[in-house]
Structure 1
Amino acid sequence: MVNLWLQLLRLRKPLTTVARRTGLSRLGAFNETWTFLILAVLVVYFTLAAPGKFLTTYDLTQIATNAAIYLVLGVGMTFVIITAGIDLSVGSILVLSAVLSAEYTVHHGGAGSGWGAVLVSSLIALVTGLLWGALQGWLVAKAKVPPLIVTLGGFGAALGIAEIVTKGEDPTGAVSSKLQESIGFGKLFGQIPWLVVIAFVMTVVFALVLARTRFGLHTYAIGSNPEAARRAGVAVDRQLITVYALTGLLCGLGAVMWLAYFGTTSIAGHATDNLTVITAVVLGGASLIGGRGSVLGTVIGVFIPAVLSTGLIIIGVQQYWQDVTIGAVLVLAVYLDQLRRRRREHA
């Protein structure tokens, strides 16, 4: 680790985000602070706009549960965006993973299947996501196809395969009742939904990976300056493949969580997942030009769309306007990111 730091610092064009750790920490703290303030303002607004209806115990549980799956996807997206990449296919990977998992369940007991079938179907979802993500990573790293094109193609291809397998219809008997009763509707100590627990564990694990390990350091280095990282000894291609594979794996986990909670593959219900997840990560302070971001920021960013959606429903705003609002929030987040970058360049 020490040798890597010395090599990075000796480069002609040093990696700012890696070399200036103090500045990175301060910048990260600033991003997370202003994002948290936005979240707090939204909570206060909806509380005042719908007194007694918003921020109830039921609402808090629902917001956390609804945000759990997007948080798992957002963790993977954070790594991708830090490398200056993008993944538009997360929703489709989730769908494909869910469909292949569901098809196994349908042919091995359906809703009445046992824990053996649950385990195998869950592994199918995880492996499907992992392999699809690794393939996209290989195309980005080895074939040198831009991430936007690779994942846009992956978005359509994964969804298309899912529709071919199911003939465009959500299969019946796709989820074991055991999975739904435990992971889907069960609660730790009778209070905390298991979906929230799973999302929390994934968040903590990968936050530590990003902030405290060589893998995290290499991820930041590639996003800051891939050529300099390569000259410093970082296996850039392997790192990129691993990052995209990780994102796919987390999409597979998201598929298991979705099946457990909703009991269906919802083939047509994930068209805007990429928008929601990218919005959350960028709101959390990650830069689309790479080299900056944090899992903590993503956690805060995920809850902004979640609170927005719940609050708008409570005050009677139509679903269509919710999508418009989330899209506008993404544009605003990117604009603020550009302003911060320009100020740093002129500082």
Structure 2
Amino acid sequence: MTTLDTPQDGNRLIRLLKLAGKQSSIWILLAFILIALIFTVMRPEAFATQFNWTNIAINASILLILAVGQTFVIATSGIDLSVGSVLVFASVIATQSTLTLGELLGDPESVVAVVGGLIAGLIAGALWGVFNGVLIAVAKVPPLIVTLGSMGMAMGFAQIITGGNDLRGLPTSLTQTVGSGRLFGVIPYLVIIAALIAVLSALVLNTTRFGRYTLAIGSDEEASRRNGLPVRLHLIKVYALSGLLAGLAGWLSVARFGATTINGHSAENLDTIAAVVLGGTSLFGGVASIFGTVVGVFIPTVLKNGFTIIGIEPFWQNVAVGAVLIAAVYYDQRRRKARSRR
């Protein structure tokens, strides 16, 4: 365990941790390029096209927003297994709120109803995050257990509200703009939103007190507490952020698909954890990279896309992502041990 005896020691440690994260990000970027080259050589006419890469970027967008929240959580040495279920719950709340407001206003295409649905989805996601954070930071229940429980609860409540059936009938002003619209007819709005979230999150992580506290707590929670950091409150904020972003992802999901897709997000927790760890964020906390997460998100997305193009059965896609996750955690352990010997 590392002890931060002075503020200068803490700042030096955080700089070293950030450098380690950047170095890992470079390696995962090279790995991503290699994977893309392999699929390009195998099926250049199908994989290496603008249409396919646009689809890859769109598919990665919602996952990236979830993974950004997961990055902050894992940076504190926590875990959030509930992000996929919270996405579903928030999408149900957002959709139901949009439809209800549309009926009350007498205009199903009302922008007020769309914005109201967004706000409801964000609140629903953030409340699940606060629920997780309080149990973890105050009640001291392990993050794995808390978020595993909330994963089942959020999905269960979503199914209870809908009767297990997807909600439809969303305004075209949402689905045809945010969901499938493109800026200047070229760049999908989903990609733009995800990119903005990633940039803002990178700035928060690397230039603000919130980011410094996140890394310090992940590096050594007890030392952070002794140095006067509000550890409990900060952990609640981090999990609330993860829930908030899951709520945003839920709203974007219904905008894209025009429905809630209740049964379509079972692998998001695995994919986000794989993306974050692949991107250089340490599963043991203290090291994080939003840029690495961005690259890491494209690894499972490109793998699934490439496997589909070359005709490999979908079942093998999850096998590959799981294997990559195990390899990334193993590498992270080796890197952590090597760093501790210095």
The question of 1:223 aligning with 2:218 is answered: yes
Partner amino acid, structure 2, of 1:189 = F
The one-letter code of the counterpart of 1:252 is G
Contact 1:112 1:177 in 2 (8 A): no
SS of match in other structure, 2:149: helix
1:311 to 270, 283, 306: 306
Partner secondary structure for residue 53 of structure 1: helix
Cα deviation per residue 1:211-235 (whole Å; 9 max; x = unaligned)? 0001100001100111111111110
Q: Is the 8 A contact 2:303 2:317 kept in 1?
A: yes
Structure 2 residue identity aligned to 1:94: L
Task: Specify the code of the residue in structure 2 equivalent to 1:207.
Answer: A
CA contact (8 A) 1:9 1:19 kept: no
Give the aligned partner of residue 180 of structure 2.
Answer: 185
Offset at residue 176 of structure 1 (A): 1.4
Shift in Å, 1:51: 2.0
2:263 match: secondary structure: helix
Give the alignment of 1:110-125 within 5 angstroms: 112-125=108-121
Structure 1 counterpart of 2:92: 99
Equivalent residue, structure 2, for 1:269: 264
Alpha-carbon RMSD: 1.7
Asked if the contact 1:132/1:245 (under 8 Å) is kept, the reply is yes
With normalisation by structure 2, the TM-score equals 0.95
1:338 and 1:136 map into 2 onto residues whose CA distance is 26
1:246 Cα shift? 0.4
- Residue 10 (structure 1) shift: 2.4
Which of 319, 335, 339 matches 1:324? Answer: 319
Deviation of the 1:24 alpha carbon: 2.7
Partner SS state of residue 86, structure 1:
coil
Q: Does residue 69 in structure 1 map to residue 65 in structure 2? A: no
Q: Say if 2:70 and 2:80, in contact at 8 Å, map to a contact too.
A: yes
Q: Which residue of 2 aligns with 1:300?
A: 295
Which of 32, 50, 57 lines up with 1:39 in the alignment? 32
The equivalent position to 2:6 in structure 1, one of 4, 10, 24, is: 10
Distance 2:164 2:280 in 1: 37
User: Does the alignment pair 1:137 with 2:133?
Assistant: yes
Match of 2:12 in 1: 19
Aligned residues: 337
* CA distance 1:25–1:101, change in 2 (3 Å): closer
Q: Is the 8 A contact 1:286 1:293 kept in 2?
A: yes
TM superposition shift of 1:40: 0.5
Q: Distance in 1 between matches of 2:70 and 2:18?
A: 20
User: CA 1:242–1:32 in 2, change beyond 3 Å: closer, same or farther?
Assistant: same
8 A Cα contact 1:105 1:113, kept in partner: no
**One-letter code aligned to 1:88:** L
Does the 8 A contact of 1:8 with 1:19 survive in 2? no
* Deviation, structure 1 residue 271: 1.1
Q: 1:199 aligns with which of 194, 197, 202?
A: 194
- Structure 1 counterpart of 2:253, from 242, 245, 258: 258
Contact 2:18/2:289, CA 8 A, preserved across alignment: no
The equivalent position to 1:158 in structure 2, one of 144, 154, 163, is 154
SS at match of 1:105: helix
**CA apart distance, 1:8:** 4.2
- Offset, 1:95: 0.3
